[in-house]
C-alpha cells in the first residue's frame, strides 16, 4: 500500500470526496511495546476498541499475545487472524452456545462471570471441564473515569464471597477482575479497586491465581490529559504486591483505548458552514459516535495550504445524515475563516471510532491510507523528540 507523509499533503493533493481514515501502524506498535515492556504483568488487548485485522496483526507483531474477546464473532475473528493467540472470553454474560463453541472449537479456556447462573452456564457448556480459568468480575466504582462501566456488570459485595467459593471449586485457576470505567483519569481508580479485591479475597478466604485490572487506561484528548501511564503501572504494581495472593499468582490488564487511540485519525470535508456550525461528511453514525453521543472532544486541525492565519474559535459539527441527532457539540477549535470545501483532520480516533461506524443513510466510507507521520497527540512519545508539525496543542 502506498504510504503518505502528511495529512495536509494528502488532503490538498487528493481532495477526497469521502471521509478517509488515516492509519499509523507505528503508533499502535509503539503503544503495544510500551505495555509489553512496562506493565508489570500481562497485557491483553480488548478487541472491541478496534477489531481491524491489520491492527490485530500489528499488536501481535509488537508482542501482544493475549486478546480479550466479548462475542463469538470476536473469538472467530481473532482465531482466524492470529491462530497462535490466546483468547480470553471476558464478557460476563454469554450465550451458552458461544461458550461451547469458544471452548471446543477455539481452545478458549479463560472466561469471566459475575453470577451463579453464568457459572452454571460455563460448567454446563464445557461439559464440566477441569482446565478452566474463571475470572469473577467484581463491581467497582467508575467515579474517576470519563465513561462509566459500573452499572451493568460486576457482582455486588454481598454476593461476592459465595460466587468466589463456588467458582474456586470448579476452576483450575481462579481470577478476580474488574473494570474501573473507560478513560480513567487517575491511577487512584485502580488503587481503590484493588482494595475491593483485597476485601473480596479476605472475606472469601480463597486462593486467587489471577488478578485482572481490566481496561480503562487513558489516552489524551482536549481537556482530558491524564498523568503518565507509568504512574498507573506503579500504582497497580504496588497494590498487587500487597494483596494476599501467592507468589505464583499473575497480574493481567485489558487495555483497549490506550493501545489503539493513536492508531488512526480521519480526514473530513466541510460541506457547509452556518455561523459557528460546520456540516462535515462524517458524524454520529460514522466514526464520531462518541463525539455525538457522549460529547467526547477530539483534537482537530485545519488542512489548508497556505495555512490560515485567522485566530481559532469554537465550532460545533453536524454529520452528514438527515438526523438532528447527528450533531457534535465539541467545542472544536479551528481558525475563524473555515469554509465549505476545507478539509479537517480529526485525531485520536483509533479507539471506538471506526469500530462503531455504520452506513446509515448511505454515508460512511471504508477508504483507508497508511501514514508515516505522527498522531496529533501521544502518550508514548518523549516530549524532547521534537513535536512534529502536525501535532496540535490540546
Ligand X SMILES: *Cc1c(COP(=O)(O)O)cnc(C)c1O
Residues that bind ligand X (CB under 6 A): 46, 48-49, 68, 90, 179, 182, 214-217, 254-258, 351
The per-type count for the chain, helices as H runs and strands as E runs, is 11, 19
User: Minimal distance in Å, beta carbon 61 to ligand X?
Assistant: 21
**DSSP string computed for 116-159:** HHHHHHHHHHTTS-SS-EEEEEBP---TTEEE--SSSS-B-HHH
What's the min distance (Å) between Cβ of 44 and ligand X? Answer: 9
- Judged by CB, which is closer to ligand X: 132, or 229? 229
Q: How far apart are CA 268 and CA 281, in angstroms?
A: 6
Find the shortest distance in angstroms from Cβ 43 to ligand X.
Answer: 11
Q: Which residue number, 88 or 206, has a Cβ lying nearer to ligand X? A: 88
Closest distance to ligand X from the beta carbon of 282 (Å)? 21
- Nearest CA to 303 out of 13, 23, 76, 48 is that of 13
β-strand 210-212 against 173-177: which pairing, if any?
Answer: parallel
The H or E element containing residue 182 is strand 182-184
Q: Sign of the CA dihedral 310, 314, 318, 320?
A: positive
Closest residue to ligand X, based on beta-carbon distance: 215
| CB nearer ligand X, residue 4 or residue 48 | 48
70, 215 Cβ separation under 8 angstroms = no
Cβ pair 250, 176 in contact under 8 A: no
Q: Which residue has the cell 502536525?
A: 390
User: Considering the complex, what minimum distance in angstroms separates the CB of residue 264 from ligand X?
Assistant: 15
330 C-beta neighbours (distance < 10 Å), count: 21
Nearer to ligand X, 115 or 308 (CB): 115
CB of 177 to ligand X, least distance (A): 7
Cβ neighbours, 10 Å, residue 335 = 17
Instruction: Say if strands 250-253 and 133-137 run parallel, antiparallel, or are unpaired.
Output: unpaired
Q: Whole-number minimum distance, CB 162 to ligand X, in Å?
A: 22
- Grid cell of 149 as nine digits: 462501566
Q: Is 128 exposed, middle or buried (0-12, 13-18, 19+ CB in 10 A)?
A: exposed
Residue 137 or residue 304: which is nearer to ligand X going by CB? 137
- Kindly tell me which of 150 and 313 has the beta carbon lying closer to ligand X: 150
Q: Which is nearer to ligand X, 142 or 281 (CB)?
A: 142
Amino acid at each position: 500500500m502506498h504510504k503518505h507523509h502528511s495529512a495536509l499533503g494528502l488532503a490538498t493533493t487528493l481532495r477526497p470526496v469521502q471521509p478517509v481514515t488515516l492509519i499509523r501502524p507505528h503508533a499502535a506498535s509503539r503503544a503495544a511495546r510500551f505495555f509489553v515492556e512496562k506493565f508489570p504483568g500481562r497485557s491483553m488487548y480488548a478487541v472491541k476498541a478496534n477489531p481491524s485485522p491489520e491492527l490485530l496483526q500489528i499488536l501481535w507483531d509488537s508482542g501482544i499475545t493475549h486478546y480479550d474477546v466479548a462475542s463469538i464473532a470476536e473469538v472467530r475473528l481473532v482465531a482466524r487472524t492470529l491462530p497462535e493467540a490466546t483468547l480470553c472470553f471476558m464478557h460476563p454474560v454469554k450465550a451458552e452456545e458461544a461458550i461451547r463453541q469458544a471452548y471446543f472449537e477455539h481452545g478458549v479456556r479463560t472466561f469471566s462471570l459475575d453470577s451463579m447462573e453464568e457459572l452454571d452456564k460455563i460448567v454446563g457448556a464445557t461439559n464440566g471441564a477441569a482446565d478452566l480459568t474463571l475470572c469473577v468480575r467484581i463491581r467497582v466504582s467508575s467515579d474517576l473515569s470519563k465513561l462509566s462501566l459500573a452499572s451493568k456488570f460486576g457482582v455486588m459485595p454481598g454476593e461476592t464471597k459465595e460466587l468466589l467459593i463456588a467458582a474456586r471449586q470448579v476452576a483450575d485457576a481462579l481470577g478476580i477482575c474488574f473494570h474501573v470505567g473507560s478513560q480513567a483519569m487517575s491511577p487512584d481508580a485502580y488503587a481503590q479497586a484493588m482494595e475491593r479485591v483485597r476485601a473480596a479475597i479476605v472475606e472469601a478466604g480463597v486462593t486467587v491465581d489471577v488478578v485482572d485490572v481490566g481496561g480503562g487506561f487513558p489516552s489524551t484528548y482536549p481537556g482530558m490529559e491524564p498523568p503518565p501511564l507509568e504512574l498507573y503501572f506503579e500504582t497497580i504494581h504496588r497494590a498487587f504486591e500487597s494483596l494476599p495472593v501467592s507468589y505464583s499468582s499473575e497480574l493481567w490488564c485489558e487495555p483497549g483505548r490506550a493501545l489503539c487511540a493513536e492508531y488512526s485519525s480521519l480526514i473530513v470535508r466541510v460541506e457547509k458552514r452556518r455561523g459557528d456550525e460546520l456540516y462535515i461528511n462524517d458524524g454520529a453514525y460514522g466514526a464520531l459516535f462518541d463525539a455525538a453521543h457522549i460529547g467526547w472532544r477530539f483534537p482537530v486541525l485545519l488542512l489548508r495550504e497556505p495555512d490560515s492565519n485567522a485566530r481559532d474559535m469554537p465550532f460545533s459539527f453536524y454529520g452528514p445524515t438527515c438526523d438532528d441527532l447527528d450533531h457534535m457539540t465539541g467545542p472544536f477549535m479551528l481558525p475563524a475563516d473555515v469554509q465549505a470545501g476545507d478539509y479537517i483532520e480529526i485525531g485520536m480516533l483509533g479507539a471506538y471510532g471506526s469500530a462503531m461506524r455504520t452506513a446509515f443513510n448511505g454515508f460512511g466510507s471504508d477508504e483507508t491510507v497508511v501514514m508515516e507521520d505522527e498522531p496529533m497527540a501521544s502518550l508514548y512519545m518523549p516530549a524532547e523528540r521534537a513535536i512534529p508539525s502536525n501535532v496540535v496543542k490540546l
